[in-house]
Structure 1
């Protein structure tokens, strides 16, 4: 499971995750520049400037998954929108439970 963590500075603002979400978040096609670089053994952190591209990639993933997974992708997109709107926020994808 990949856990997505929205942080402001050193404080965790929100998290989300779903069992087996690595199926559609990891190993995606190279056309999804940011998602194709996610690690299954480390932390990948994105800042405000990355959010427009990340949101676009997540929207593309959303179109390729079923209803239950689509709801989870919507949660990730909502965290990305919050990250984009906030100051000093980051969005981290990690396979480690947070």
Structure 2
């Protein structure tokens, strides 16, 4: 599929990556299916996420950054992608209170 990939627009590439990732394929599996490298899939996976919303910066201690790197590496993704997935999942699935367990005093 590498030949087809080369003819696709960036939007088509993002859509193809999003479709495969939405089916639960890892970046490596999506790359294999598309006939490209995992790094290429990562590029379009990250681009698709940032194109749909905003980018946030977070500060982590070196120990937490090391842990995030290890967890991301085990999944074959970039640390930024994993951090984005964690935050997105916590917000989408209403898990913030369960994760923080901080008894907020006011509701938004």
Task: Please classify the TM superposition score into its range, dividing by the shorter chain length.
Answer: under 0.3
Query: Of the two, which has the highest radius of gyration?
Result: 2
TM-score by length of 1: 0.28
Higher relative contact order (CA 8 A, sep 6+): 1
TM-score by length of 2: 0.26
Higher share in strand = 1
